[in-house]
Amino acid sequence: MNNFIFENSTKVFFGKGCVKEFLAGTLKEYGRSVMLAYGGNAIKNNGVYDEVKAILMDEGKTVIEFSGIMSNPTYNKVMEGAALARENHVDVILAVGGGSVMDCCKAVSLAAAYDGDIWRDYWEKNGIIDFEPLPLGVIVTVTGTGSECNGGAVITNEEKKVKTGRDYPKCNPKFALMDPEYTFSVPKKQTASGGFDILSHIMETYFSKTDDDNISDDISEALMRSVIRNLPAALENPQDYTARSNLMWAATMAENRIIKLGKACDFQAHQIEHQLGAYTNCNHGCGLAVIHPAYYRYIYQDGLDKFVRFAVHVWGIPSEGKSADEVALEGIRALENFIKAIGLPSTLRELGVTDADILPEIAASCNIAPGSYGNMTKEAILEILNLCL
């Protein structure tokens, strides 16, 4: 394996009833003023809001609400939250929701403690955080991004039409409360897209060097098989606690940096989807579902041995009497069939993107991921996008 340094500072409370059991005690080490951040009405409709708010009020906290965080959080929304936190002398942010809420609040925690332009200094380029962001805790209600155990935040700058993610360990949540029952009411499409985002994160790490024998690839294969097994179960029975809990922890394992140790990581599909999202505001998991099969057909010969291993070890495809190319392509077809089976789109047109004229601009705006097996160029990205039509 390649050399690495591992760090993860987030304390996780996992399981049924963990919010009721641990939230009050965990907040005691922070101040009185809590910013309660969330998206729309989902947490009010399913009772999570009332439960969390009651705990905060019982603890005598001053609650400042920051709501309306959108599915692709914008820089303007981040700055709105930072201003609210400063004006109210917030001591800790409590983000209740999925990846978008958590990502937005990480950026808010940074912006609230920084006098400069965080987009210029920390999103356009990697910056050095030599100060303490505002403390952040999270309560996960939607499974997918794994944002609860890393410092990563994907933010969209609408004016620049750029969607960028950065991962700063200092932005890791101080604590994460993860009760799988909180995900029971997540709609099927959102469950499916979030589940595919988990699978995508694992694949983006798996399909990268080093390809020597390594623990990271072994763990990744087990995680992929778990997602493939548990996501259909959760879609069939939304209150399947075993399936929901496995998906929740798989999402965390995909992005808590463990499987990335010793790996180059690819994330080219994510780079393409980020810019697709910046231009069209499409659902992240759905965008990834469209991009991955086309991207993998484009690059599989550059990582042929790994694609064969993926087909055999993850999908159980027999290799006897077949060429490496045949086995690799069967693995990609199995992925494509899985995407269709869980009800996600397979083409840009199904995603609602019908204007092919914007594709060259999207391709030109994409970053090139250095970990890709393929020799990526802006021209290659445009070819992949055209294959997605």
- How far is CA 54 from each of CA 34, 49, 85, 109, 255, rounded to the nearest angstrom? 13, 8, 21, 24, 31
Q: Is the pLDDT of residue 230 over 80?
A: yes
Look up the pTM and report it: 0.94
What is the CATH superfamily name and number for domain 188-388? Dehydroquinate synthase-like - alpha domain (1.20.1090.10)
Report the DSSP pairing between strands 162-167 and 152-157: antiparallel
**Tokens in use for 204?**
């983006």
Report how far residue 148's alpha carbon sits from residue 374's, in angstroms, rounded to the nearest whole number.
31
Domain ranges in the chain are 11-183, 188-388
Average pLDDT over residues 314-339: 98
Query: What's the pLDDT band for 383 if we cut at 50, 70, 90?
Result: very high
* Region 11-183: CATH code: 3.40.50.1970
**pLDDT exceeds cutoff 80 at 4:** no
From CA 372, how far away is CA 328, in angstroms rounded? Answer: 17
Q: Which tens digits make up the pLDDT trace of 131-186?
A: 999 999 999 999 999 999 999 999 999 999 999 999 999 999 999 999 999 999 99
Q: What is the mean pLDDT of residues 12-26?
A: 96
Q: Write out the H or E segment, with its range, that includes residue 64.
A: strand 62-66
Question: Cα(63)–Cα(94) distance, rounded to whole angstroms?
Answer: 10
Look at residue 3 in the predicted model and tell me its pLDDT. 80
What stretches of the chain show up as alpha helix (H) in DSSP?
18-27, 42-45, 48-58, 75-87, 99-111, 118, 188-206, 215-236, 241-255, 268-280, 284-299, 304-309, 324-341, 359-365, 378-388
The amino acid occupying position 32 is R
Residue for token pair 């996960």: 140
Please report the pLDDT score of residue 7 as a whole number.
79
What is the number of helices (H) and of strands (E) in the chain? 15, 8
pLDDT of 375 over the 90 cut: no
How far apart, in whole angstroms, are the C-alpha atoms of residue 260 and residue 205? 6
Distance CA 79, CA 67 (A): 13
Classified as helix, coil or strand, 35 is: strand
ω before 156 within 30° of 0 (cis)?
no
List pLDDT tens digits, range 244-292.
Answer: 999 999 999 999 999 999 999 999 999 999 999 999 999 999 999 999 9
- Given the structure tokens 């009020």, which residue do they identify? 57
User: What's the pLDDT at 14?
Assistant: 97
